[in-house]
Amino acid sequence: MALKGIDIFKLSPKTNCGDCGFSTCMAFCMKAAQGAVMPEQCPHFSASGLEKLQAMSRPAMAKFTVAGLPMGGETVLYRHEKTLVSPNGFGITLDDTMTDAALGQALQQLQAVDYSRIGQRMYVEFVQLRCLSADPLRYAALARAVKGLCRCPVLSCRQEACAQAALQVLGSECILNGATPENYRHMAELALRYGAALGAWAPSLSQLHTLSQQLEALGVKRILLDITGENEAQTLENAVQVRRGALKDGIRAFGYPSLVDIAALAPADPSRQSALAALFVQRYGSVLLLEKLSYAQALPLFGLRQNIYTDPQKPMKVEAKAYPLCGGGADSPWVLTVDFALTYFLVSAELERAGEPVNLLVADASGMSVLTAWAAGKLTAASIAQTVQIYGPEKGILILPGKVGVLQQQVQRLLPGWQVVTGPDEAAQLPRYMKSRQYLTDAAQLAAEQKEAAVEDSRSLSFDRLLHSHVPAIEKISTDVHYPPRNPNSKRFVVIGERIHCIAPAIREAMDRRNPAPILQRAEQQIAAGATYLDVNIGPAEEDGAQRMMWAVKLLQENFGNVPLALDTVNRRAIEAGLYVYNRANGKPILNSADNGARRSIIDLAAANDAIVIALCAGEGLVRDNEERLYHCHQMLERGLSLGMAAEDLWFDPSFLVIKGMQEQQVQILEAIRLMSAEGLKTTGGVSNCSNGVPRPLRPILDSAMLAMCMSQGMTSAILNPNDSRMMQTVKACDIIHNRVLYNDELLKD
Amino acid sequence: MEMSFSPKSKSCPGVITQVTLGFGGAAVTLGGQRAPAFYTFDDPDLPMPRLALEVTQQPADGQLPRLAAFYAGCEDLKQRLLRAQELPQAQMICLTVTACDPNGENVPAQVCARQVLQAVETLQKPLIIKGCGNPQADAALFCALAPALKGKNVLFYGVKADNYRQIVPAALENGHCLCAETADDVNLAMQLNVLLREAGFPAEKTVMDIGTSAVGYGYDYVASTMDRIRLAALEQGEDLLQSPMICCVGGDVWGIKEATATQEEEPLWGSREERICQLELVSAVSDLTCGADCVILRHPDALQEADGFVKSLYQGR
């Protein structure tokens, strides 16, 4: 079922013979993992390999749904190891001796707690129905009382006749929590007949272990293990032993979701029940049954669950919309931010601290922080203007985050009715900014400046027209640095110099003003240090990307002997413009970059223009593991090949991750490079991403070691800072050891 | 069929460093764990985590009747500290000193220190003194207090990369403990411990606050950071992360919306005091589950509930 392509690959013949119809064994195995082909379709797969595959294909923990709620399927004990997949459920308890009044009140309270938090519905998913009367009629009546509630019933009942009566009312989408070592045959028979999931309880873990296997043998698929023990301590032990046994020791019989009857552990003690629920949210409870759940209990418990069950690699997002704060109305100022939950909490807390009526306007930025979203093209002048148009009034004062102050003029042009100003860089500066009403002064000043003539929209002009009318003449500098003519087929490691990047303030300003000096200076330094390609990042540049890129390409190539370049922007028209003026003497242009999500079409652009493309092995968001990396890799490879590209013109970027925070992932990245190299694919990437957040003097230590390890796995290129001498020494040394460069002492001297 | 199952206990090579706070018969030791929190089946001698009650410089909020009743009749900070000390489940007392905050009242450190000394002079239970969060103001306060509290083995809470150089000598000379405080990040926590060791401060006197939050407010990062720290300490024996962890739940919780909104603002949510207690309790339990060796609560009812919860997990041991 949940078998990975890599696992199948390990057992495959690895000969790339092509007899299966796929070009490589890896491609075949990836397809097999998706279920598109059967491993048996490979004529050379060994019998023992196939047998092993069958044994492996069963996950450590069963995964299923009950009443549409996901259960089980966990693969790790702690969320940081990968992610937890099935959020625990909360339930309340009713019994069949309650008076109608008490029942009505309990149901009312159940339904009262139902709200939305960061885009998710928070409500009580389960209702435990305890059978105390031993009277099938009364128990069935209780079942009827909850039938239309859209909550999953848990029938806590070990008596066959009562259970049957309730099942007749409720049908399949419920849990019959009643199997014990004594009655399990009858209960299994009932669960199978009505299609219900079955909860199993035994006085000890060894008996529960046996019971679970007995139920499996009878054909029950959806099993929950009721791990409620004599007391709190024993219940925690059960929870840990069961989950740890399933995931770490491969105990199949324990590979099921759990159920904890917290109401029974601490009767009539709501606070103790809250405390226990908090414990079992983190320690392996799947369905947590309390007596009741008040709003005061629900707020922290639901918040905790939402946090614990977020994917550590997928940021929590808040809904994009307007949030009025401190009594904000349409006339109050509008503060813009992004939908990354932590940013939102920070900004909203500071605005509330300021106490001024305001509207917080949250833009959809794929859950990224402000600067990341801007650099990735997820927060643009157009997207900001659109957000304002959807959620805001016709006019007002819009305050942009200081970090995207560069967008102010463009946003202003798109929103003529508004006064667009730039706010502070950091949320902590907001209270003072808001209280002093600095935005009013800023807005007045900007309004005065706006009287200058409107800029002509150049976006519809042809590249030829643009080149002659919008690209300044290229200045030539005198320099001793020349780009040495290069054989594009050289096997040497390709260093793509990363220093011409508009995230650097000096470069951003130089690009804005078409001031060549800072750009040429960095180019000169990088070429002198041995860069093969220069990356040219002009930012999203929505307004004038085309002329900006043409200018930058010509500036660099005309000054430095047609140095080959990587065109780096999310702006498609800018890439096309860059290609229009690009000189191929020393190598094809590189397009940086495509991915298997929104930027997939950059592959098409590369194919149409005979360019190299850096293909980031990711879809939307960060990749979770190598299964995903290779999936994206093969999807993009197929696309490129189908458009007539050569495989060697797709350079795959495994997507480097930060060591601080994702230390566990690093060996995975090395493994991904090895696997892609084994298929003959080229690889590249921003190696020094790995040391983000590390003090600057220490970064080269990690970066150079990572680079050497990547090169040893077969990496063919990297995007790095050539003026980091330790990195360049590593490249040279590894090229020597790989026998791509003939050794001589001089080579290693700076 | 699989072989029959018998429960396994798992032993860890690492142990959490023992740090003793306070003096005399009331002294309390944190640390000593050789297993994850509450895993008494892995370590039958697993020490219990500790609970502290936080007292703020401001009088109890009159809008919270249960809190006001607890401190009823107390006329000043000194009396409130003594009242806090009477709560049997509170093993330590934490005094949070905010008056020295330059962005607040900005009371000079010496003046602040005199007020504190007068208030704590008769306390017997171990004392935690938590600063306002401003590194320089806290350093000045701790340095002013350290000599006067010599022999009381106090925990100064609020030592950061920005102020440890000033605080370490005063703490060393007067025999106090320090709480190293960092933002929510494994590497930062480790780094500050390295700095403290390099400055000659002993591990046996160091605890850490790794930057917790209220549940629901970025607690995903908190849980993972604490889990990673505790696993590194126990399973990999990483001694720089073996310091006991302490969490100021009151500070994490009381400022969030669920705790500040009045019943009029959020009629569905019910009593504000009940919300605060539940938030403190659930946040404290979550911190403890992730390995906190001490949680500091501000509401005495929440502390008593947390105490009952902890003891319930040690039944039969």
Question: Is the pLDDT score of B146 beyond 50?
Answer: yes
Question: Is the pLDDT score of B171 beyond 60?
Answer: yes
Question: Is the pLDDT score of B25 beyond 70?
Answer: yes
At residue A716, what are phi and psi to the nearest 5 degrees? -105, -10
The shortest CB-CB distance from B315 to any of A232, A299, A349 is to: A232
| CA nearest to A277 within chain B | B282
Instruction: State what percent of residues in chain B have pLDDT above 90.
Output: 86
Mean pLDDT calculated for residue range A112-127: 93
Q: How many CB pairs under 8 A join A and B?
A: 173
- Range scoring the smallest mean pLDDT among A4-18, A93-107, B146-160: A4-18
What ranges in B215-314 are assigned the alpha helix state H? 219-235, 249-253, 257-260, 272-289, 300-312
Nearest to B283 by CA among B184, B212, B194, B190: B212
Mean pLDDT calculated for residue range B43-55: 97
Cα A675 vs. chain centroid, distance in angstroms? 22
Q: Which class for A489: exposed (0-12), middle (13-18), buried (19 or more C-beta within 10 A)? A: exposed
**Are A512 and A547 contacting, i.e. CB atoms less than 8 angstroms apart?**
no
Question: Is the pLDDT score of B66 beyond 50?
Answer: yes
Chain A residues touching B314 at Cβ < 8 A: 233
Question: Is the pLDDT score of A1 beyond 50?
Answer: no
Q: Cβ separation of B216 and A117 shorter than 8 Å? A: yes
Mean pLDDT calculated for residue range A296-305: 97
| CA nearest to B42 within chain A | A237
Cα A527 vs. chain centroid, distance in angstroms? 36
- Range scoring the smallest mean pLDDT among A412-421, A647-656, A682-691, A714-723: A412-421
Distance between CA A73 and CA B176 in Å, rounded? 49
Sign of CA dihedral A244, A245, A249, A252: negative
* Chain A closest-CA separation from residue B230 CA (Å): 12
A459-492 per-position pLDDT tens digit: 778 888 888 888 888 888 888 888 988 888 888 9
Give the global pTM. 0.76
Distance between CA A462 and CA A714 in Å, rounded? 42
Q: Cβ separation of B313 and A294 shorter than 8 Å? A: no
**Are B27 and B153 contacting, i.e. CB atoms less than 8 angstroms apart?**
yes
Question: Is the pLDDT score of A452 beyond 70?
Answer: no
Q: Cβ separation of B8 and A241 shorter than 8 Å? A: yes
Question: Is the pLDDT score of A315 beyond 90?
Answer: no
Q: Which helix (H) or strand (E) holds A590?
A: strand A590-595
Within 10 A of B311 (CB to CB), how many other CB atoms are there? 13
Instruction: Provide the pLDDT for residue A750.
Output: 64
Q: Cβ separation of B282 and A278 shorter than 8 Å? A: yes
A497-540 per-position pLDDT tens digit: 999 998 888 999 999 889 999 999 999 999 999 999 999 999 88
Q: Cβ separation of A241 and B220 shorter than 8 Å? A: no
Q: Cβ separation of A251 and B5 shorter than 8 Å? A: yes
Sign of CA dihedral A554, A557, A562, A566: negative
- Please, what's the b/e burial string for B3-34 (b: 16 or more CB within 10 A of its CB; e: otherwise)? eebebeebebebbbbbbebbeeeeebebbbbb
Instruction: Provide the pLDDT for residue A453.
Output: 44
Write out the two tokens for A586: 């020393």
| CA nearest to B185 within chain A | A661
3-class secondary structure, A449: helix
A204-238 per-position pLDDT tens digit: 999 999 999 999 999 999 999 999 999 999 999 99
At residue A94, what are phi and psi to the nearest 5 degrees? -125, 160
B79-119 per-position pLDDT tens digit: 999 999 999 999 999 999 999 998 888 999 999 999 999 99
The shortest CB-CB distance from B313 to any of A236, A303, A349 is to: A236
Confidence of residue A456 (pLDDT cuts 50, 70, 90): low
Share the mean pLDDT of chain A: 91
**Are B96 and B141 contacting, i.e. CB atoms less than 8 angstroms apart?**
no
* Chain B closest-CA separation from residue A689 CA (Å): 16
Chain B residues touching A245 at Cβ < 8 A: 5, 8
Which residue in the block uniquely carries the two structure tokens 């503060």?
A335
* Chain A closest-CA separation from residue B271 CA (Å): 8
Question: Is the pLDDT score of A580 beyond 50?
Answer: yes
Which of B285, B295, B311, B315 to mutate to probe the A interface, most A CBs <10 Å? B285
At residue A624, what are phi and psi to the nearest 5 degrees? -95, -40
Chain B residues touching A427 at Cβ < 8 A: none
Write out the two tokens for A129: 């129905």
A543: DSSP letter: T
Within 10 A of A376 (CB to CB), how many other CB atoms are there? 15
* Chain B closest-CA separation from residue A590 CA (Å): 36
At residue A705, what are phi and psi to the nearest 5 degrees? -65, -45
Q: In angstroms, how far is the first alpha carbon of chain A from the final one?
A: 55
Nearest to B33 by CA among B22, B20, B21, B17: B17
Question: Is the pLDDT score of A449 beyond 80?
Answer: no
Distance between CA A105 and CA A108 in Å, rounded? 5
Confidence of residue A454 (pLDDT cuts 50, 70, 90): very low
B274-309 per-position pLDDT tens digit: 999 999 999 999 999 999 999 999 999 999 999 999
Question: Is the pLDDT score of A455 beyond 60?
Answer: no
Nearest to B20 by CA among B189, B219, B183, B177: B177
Instruction: Provide the pLDDT for residue A451.
Output: 57
CA distances from A537 to A414, A519, A567 (A): 24, 11, 7
A25-62 per-position pLDDT tens digit: 888 888 887 777 888 888 888 888 887 877 777 789 99
Q: Cβ separation of A300 and B2 shorter than 8 Å? A: no
3-class secondary structure, B142: helix
Q: Cβ separation of B2 and A209 shorter than 8 Å? A: yes
**Are B295 and B288 contacting, i.e. CB atoms less than 8 angstroms apart?**
yes
Instruction: Provide the pLDDT for residue A11.
Output: 85
Q: Cβ separation of B281 and A278 shorter than 8 Å? A: yes
CA distances from B307 to B16, B20, B130, B199, B266 (A): 21, 20, 22, 36, 30
Chain A residues touching B4 at Cβ < 8 A: 206, 209-210
Q: Most confidently modeled of A397-411, A596-610, B77-91?
A: B77-91
Chain A residues touching B9 at Cβ < 8 A: none
Nearest to A224 by CA among A261, A266, A272, A273: A261
